Amino acid sequence: MTTPKNTAHHDHDYVWALLPWYVNDGLSRQEINEVQTHIKDCPDCQREVVRCGELSATVKTNRSDEWMPSAPHFAKILANVDAFERRQEKPQRSSNWIAKWLPWFDVTPGPARFALALQGALVVALATTLLVRGLMPVQPYTTLSNPGAPFVVAGQHVRLVFSDDITEKELRALVLGVEGRFVAGPSSQGVYTIVLPSSNSNVQPIAQVLAQLRAHPKVRLAEPANVTVE
């Protein structure tokens, strides 16, 4: 191997630089002509052509640098490809969503961003609360009245008709005297319904209660009703 002489003119340097590609047939037709014209009269370049040929042969014939493909290696490559494909599939949806909204978010002023973020957080909190409540078991709403069901009071029902001149005080004393309670009335015919306590050891028999009621001078009618609720 030789280096260009310090005194060599431009053509020599130019051709000397091209010699590796002259050897590997990598020059244009014009460059080949230039090289051939020069090396006819340049022993340095002639020797360099030979050396480049030796170098080329050495590089080409170095078998220690051979690398052979193999099925296991290709399997590793495919595993990498599969991993890459999986990564691509997952974030694509979310990245599309982000890509759609990001420009809009970018042009939003800072305070508005904060307000929107707060609003968004509240919406999320509300939605979460509703969702949680929706998942909880429903408890019936209870009131003092139940208009859907018939008015039923447990006990023996008795229908009463009083004389017109009975006072409220007399009426109250009469009903309390038999431990009754008004549950209906007066009807259009002036009929009241009371209920007596359910039968137990401390309660008078119905016949005795009816006799007591009928004995009152201002009671016109005292009859047991057909309704008896336990």
Partner 1 sequence: MVDQDCDNAVSYAEPRAEEAARLMRAVANKDRRAFETLYYTYSPRLGRYLLRLLKRREVVDEVLNDVMLVVWQSAERYDPSLSRLSTWLFGIAHNKALKALSKLTRHQVELSIDPIESDDFAETSDVTDATARSDQHNPEQTLMGRQLGRALQWAIESLSADHRSVLELAFAQDYSYQEIATALDCPVNTVKTRMFYARKHLAELMAHYEGTTQTIVRSNLP
Surface-to-core class of residue 23, CB atoms within 10 Å of its CB (0-12 exposed, 13-18 middle, 19+ buried)? buried
Site string for partner 1, 55-74 (x = CB under 8 A): xx-xxxxxx-xxxxx---xx
Determine, following the binding rule CB under 8 A, whether residue 95 of this chain makes contact with partner 1.
no
Q: Which stretch binds partner 1 (CB under 8 A): 52-60, 97-105, 168-176, 181-189?
A: 52-60
Q: Minimal distance in Å, beta carbon 97 to partner 1?
A: 23
Residue 66: C-alpha distances to residues 32, 61, 70, 72 (Å): 31, 10, 13, 17
Determine, following the binding rule CB under 8 A, whether residue 3 of this chain makes contact with partner 1.
yes
Q: Looking at 37, 80, 108, 208, which residue binds partner 1 (CB under 8 A)?
A: 80
Q: Which stretch binds partner 1 (CB under 8 A): 76-84, 115-123, 188-196, 206-214?
A: 76-84
Q: Minimal distance in Å, beta carbon 28 to partner 1?
A: 9
Residues 201-220 that bind partner 1 (CB under 8 A): none
User: 48: how many CB neighbours lie within 10 A of its CB?
Assistant: 23
Q: Minimal distance in Å, beta carbon 96 to partner 1?
A: 19
Determine, following the binding rule CB under 8 A, whether residue 89 of this chain makes contact with partner 1.
no
Q: Total residues contacting partner 1 (rule CB under 8 A)?
A: 35
* Cα–Cα distance, 182 to 169 (Å, whole number): 14
Nearer to partner 1, 59 or 173 (CB): 59
Residue 47: C-alpha distances to residues 34, 68, 75, 145 (Å): 17, 35, 48, 120
Do residues 20 and 52 touch, judged by C-beta distance below 8 A? yes
| Joined tokens for residue 159 | 């229908």
Nearer to partner 1, 7 or 58 (CB): 58
Q: How many CA atoms lie within 13 A of 33 on its CB side?
A: 3
Residue 38: C-alpha distances to residues 32, 63, 194 (Å): 10, 35, 139
Surface-to-core class of residue 162, CB atoms within 10 Å of its CB (0-12 exposed, 13-18 middle, 19+ buried)? buried
Determine, following the binding rule CB under 8 A, whether residue 21 of this chain makes contact with partner 1.
yes
Q: Report the interface residues with partner 1, using CB under 8 A.
A: 1-3, 13, 17, 20-21, 23-27, 52, 54-56, 58-63, 65-69, 73-74, 76-78, 80-81, 84
